[in-house]
Amino acid sequence: MKNLKKRLKQGETLNGCWLNLGSTITAEIVGLSGYDWVLLDLEHGSGAERDILNQLQALEHTPVGAIVRLEGPQSQRILRVLDMGAEGVMCPHVDNAEIAQAVASGLKYPPEGIRGVAKMVRATNYGQNFAEYYKNAKDNLLGVAQIETVEALKHVNEIAAIDGIDVLFIGPNDLSMDMGIHGQYDHPRFKEALSAVLAAAKKFDKVVGILIFTVDDYPLYHDMGMRFIACGADATFVANGAHDMAAKINGMRANSKNKT
């Protein structure tokens, strides 16, 4: 365990990024790059559940903690990735307390939750340290609820109140789209939405996170009080690097032709 939950409770700001290629190679590269956490994306990413185990293994020797974003709050999906060794889950479209409770329950063993018990899984070193894993699971496993709809804003206090939901993660694309102001992150109503999420988190001693699209925005959201901030993705890194290099060498080719 990389102690993401404990570090957040101690007031640290943790920086992360998306892994949406389903690749063990890019997972390992990004894991060694200096981030605190990475998100293996099963909602929009090109990988499938069968790819998660190999990516988690590739990340094991890196400093980052691995969170998996599932498509929904189904308990059987949550326990699968936790048994593989994920340090927590992110669930999209957590629109009310019922969905938030489903996520939280899936993270916890009975009697507090409904997670199925299996000892011979990767998370417990295949049975070698089940007792220790069980003892520390509640303090180690991170529950991240995405706040990305107007409906979620209506219930944000109820969501934040759920024990086991540790991070209220704002999805700016979806939230602004649902509000009818897509991409207008300086819009007064969007700013009001951020303030509402921050207020709910403060009331219930939770953390707020967000995905940003440029590092220039980092100080703005950090100064607001957000402490679980993501920027970048493995697909973006590859695409930007490829486009940048191609543009440079194509420019050099054009200059060379002009000189002949």
Lowest-confidence pick of 93-102, 225-234, 247-256: 247-256
User: Mean per-residue pLDDT for 220-224?
Assistant: 98
pLDDT at 89: 98
pLDDT at 260: 59
Each residue's pLDDT tens digit, 58-72: 999 999 999 999 999
CATH dotted code for 4-259: 3.20.20.60
pLDDT band at 245 (very low <50, low <70, confident <90, very high): very high
Phi, psi angles (nearest 5°) of residue 222: -65, -40
User: Mean per-residue pLDDT for 174-191?
Assistant: 98
Is 93 considered catalytic here? Answer: no
Kindly tell me the burial class for residue 114, based on how many C-beta atoms sit within 10 Å of its own C-beta (0-12, 13-18, 19 or more). Answer: middle
Encode burial over 243-260: b for 16+ CB neighbours within 10 A, e otherwise.
eeeeeeeeeeeeeeeeee
The residue ranges of every structural domain in the chain are: 4-259
Residue 259 pLDDT exceeds 80: no
What's the whole-model pTM score? 0.95
* Token pair in block for residue 195: 């303030």
* Active-site annotation holder among 44, 93, 182, 222: 44
Work out the widest C-alpha separation in the chain, in whole angstroms.
78
Q: 107 with 89: CB under 8 angstroms?
A: yes
pLDDT at 169: 98
If phi over 0 gives left and psi between -120 and 50 gives alpha, with beta otherwise, what is residue 250? alpha
Q: 82 with 59: CB under 8 angstroms?
A: no
pLDDT at 179: 98
Kindly tell me the burial class for residue 135, based on how many C-beta atoms sit within 10 Å of its own C-beta (0-12, 13-18, 19 or more). Answer: exposed
